[in-house]
Amino acid sequence: RAAEALDNAVWANQFDNEANWKGHYLSTGPEILQQTAGNIHAFTCATGTGGTFAGVSKYLKEQSSAIQTVLADPPGSVLYSHFTQGKMERTGTGSITE
């Protein structure tokens, strides 16, 4: 890995690092709820690692189970492929999220 070969690099491991979604659970979710004054019915976003969607969705759902969370992931992305074909692989020329 490049991070191991460079003195000034770090491997964040965003797909498996729980700090990824927890950061959005602790900051982005509460910020969205505060800025909407609690008047929120749904949340959607595109994903790369899924950290934003997971953290924000978990936080908002804990505040109100009526809040809908929707993944807006375009064809060509890894998660689209996972849900439609059961494969974790990118198709085409890449997606806007990766």
pLDDT digit string (tens) for 67-81?
999 988 766 667 777
Structure confidence by residue, pLDDT tens digits, 20-29? 999 999 999 9
How sure is the predictor about 31, in pLDDT bands with cuts at 50, 70 and 90? very high
Cα–Cα distance measured from residue 49 to residue 41, given in angstroms and rounded to the nearest whole number: 24
- Return d(Cα 95, Cα 98) in angstroms, integer: 6
pLDDT above 90 coverage of the chain, percent: 44
Distance (Å, whole) CA 18 – CA 30? 18
Structure tokens at 22: 């927890």
